[in-house]
Amino acid sequence: MDIKIDRSAPTPAYRQLYEQVSSAIESGELKAGDRLPHIRELAAALGIARNTVEAAYKQLAVEGFAKGRRGLGYIVEELDFSVLDPEPANADAAVLIRESEEQRNRDPLGGAHGMAFDFCYGNRSVEMLPMHALRGLADAVLSDACQAEAARYMDPFGHLGLRKQIVRHLRETRGIRCVPEQVILQPGTQVALSKIASILPQSERIVAMEDPGYNAARYAFQRAGCAIRPIPVHAGQRAFLDALHASDARMAMVTPSNQFPLGFIMPLSTRLKLIEWAKGAGAYLIEDDYCCEYRYRSSPSPALRSIDEHRTIYLGTMSKILTPSVRISYLVLPPELLERWNAVHSDDYCALAWFDQALLEAFMASDAWRRYTHSTVRAYQLSHDALLGALEREMGSRITIYGKDAGLHLLVEDALGRSQEELVELAKGAGVRVYPTEQYWAHEKHPMKSLILIGFSGIARDRIPEGIRRLAAAWR
């Protein structure tokens, strides 16, 4: 074995020796049972300290290349490296990786794909984020002396200070009375829903969902082993309640303050009957209050949870009022469900970072929060008005518009009844990205085949009129 130590290299001598000996073992130059050179002799031959050789040999022994035997020195271990030969069936890794990137980037939320006008849903325009306010607060949070939590596994319900701010926020804006001990922070709606589902025994995982409804919620429930019972919401309140009563659901997920995606408010009479159903069936309601802040021609309607605190699991999110990339959602559990939650999720860690929680706590406690939320709602009202005006001006009677006066998107139904695929493709040809709504329905057979989603939160307001002008031309 030909060993060379390069004293001018940045790698320490012991490491160079370790690497050359381990390579010799891997290549088969040194074989099982071979004795490594005597420490004193090798040190002398290489002109390095004995300690250096010993450190290299110890490392080889620690990792299992060789074994130190009293009186015999270090002996090479029995090692079969042939197992590391590539499996013949292995496809080219580079090809697999490229295919994976293509597969993932088909995601409809994944960006404008080079199109000049992207009317996406949920994404935000970066200029409207409160970066300036957050800069000052971030510095203060990181300088704060009371950071013991930052160094620990946190309370699985999340940072208490943030839960307190959420309690205050819910009381002031949603008419909800609760205590921080009922609030559980989660890294997004999907995770929250799958955790809610798993407090039901496996045999009772039957969830009623609005149809159409939020597809990602449906997938989250399904992955948690739930059967889904789609309940129609486009055929009137009576049909909705009848279908619910006819179902065997143990939970029902609803969007009372702004039905997703159709955009209407659930009437009080239906809310009361929903609570009646839950009480009678011993079931629970999940109120997904995903977009309650954005209502432009009236006040936000009070939450279902504000009139029922025993059967309603409230679910809120910071994705719409802040940004989807903040990944903070929160549950308010009925007191009756706390014990079950703790039992099922007893080994949970809090999945949110301390820093985000402390930063949001500081933001919500500041005057900047109120200013920010007001100005954000006002800004999206102007975008909503710009989009609605442009749609009416450019397409008038050729479309029906749903979901006005609330939320961050409008729905448009083509009077010619063309398919969503066709409408999306025509738009794409004009450099305009609009979105299908097929995925929100539980079944392929549904009555709104020409319904297109047009979001207004991720596009600059002054680009909306031109984008809709091009869309109208493409659809003409």
- Span 133-162, contacts to a second copy by CB under 8 A: 134-135, 138-139, 142-143, 147-157
Report 187-226 residues binding a second copy (CB under 8 A). 187-188, 190-191, 198, 215-216, 219, 223, 225
Q: What's the one-letter identity of residue 219?
A: Y
Q: Which is nearer to a second copy, 435 or 475 (CB)?
A: 435
233, 265 contact by CB (below 8 A): no
Report 310-369 residues binding a second copy (CB under 8 A). 310, 323-328, 335-336, 338-339, 341-343, 346-356, 359
Q: Which is nearer to a second copy, 140 or 473 (CB)?
A: 140
155, 351 contact by CB (below 8 A): no
Selected binder of a second copy within 299, 417, 443, 447 (CB under 8 A): 299
Q: What's the one-letter identity of residue 268?
A: L
Report 235-294 residues binding a second copy (CB under 8 A). 265-273, 275-276, 279
Could you tell me which stretch among 3-11, 35-43, 123-131, 367-375 binds a second copy (CB under 8 A)? 123-131
Residues contacting a second copy: total by CB under 8 A? 118
* CA dist 292 → 285, 300, 389, 410 (Å): 17, 6, 23, 15
> Closest by alpha carbon to 132, among 396, 422, 446, 368?
368
Rule CB under 8 A: say whether 114 interacts with a second copy: no
Q: Which is nearer to a second copy, 402 or 475 (CB)?
A: 402
Report 394-433 residues binding a second copy (CB under 8 A). none
Could you tell me which stretch among 99-107, 365-373, 423-431, 462-470 binds a second copy (CB under 8 A)? 99-107
**Taking each helix axis from N to C terminus, what angle separates 13-27 and 50-63, rounded to the nearest 10 degrees?**
50
Cα–Cα distance for residue pair 186/350, rounded to 1 Å: 8
Report 72-91 residues binding a second copy (CB under 8 A). 77-81, 83-84, 86-87, 90-91
Selected binder of a second copy within 59, 247, 255, 437 (CB under 8 A): 59
* CA dist 128 → 167, 289, 293, 325 (Å): 25, 22, 16, 14
Selected binder of a second copy within 6, 10, 72, 97 (CB under 8 A): 97
Q: Which is nearer to a second copy, 328 or 464 (CB)?
A: 328
Report 3-22 residues binding a second copy (CB under 8 A). 15, 18
Minimum gap (Å) between residue 420 Cβ and a second copy:
19
Rule CB under 8 A: say whether 458 interacts with a second copy: yes
How many CA within 13 A on the CB side of residue 407? 26
- For residue 230, what is the enclosing H or E element? strand 227-232
Q: How many CB atoms lie within 10 A of CB 339?
A: 10
Report 24-43 residues binding a second copy (CB under 8 A). none
The CA angle 214-263-113, to the nearest 5 degrees, is 60
DSSP 8-class letter at 199: T
Selected binder of a second copy within 13, 16, 53, 124 (CB under 8 A): 124
Minimum gap (Å) between residue 475 Cβ and a second copy:
27
How many CA within 13 A on the CB side of residue 402? 19
Cα–Cα distance for residue pair 112/453, rounded to 1 Å: 15
Q: What's the one-letter identity of residue 204?
A: E
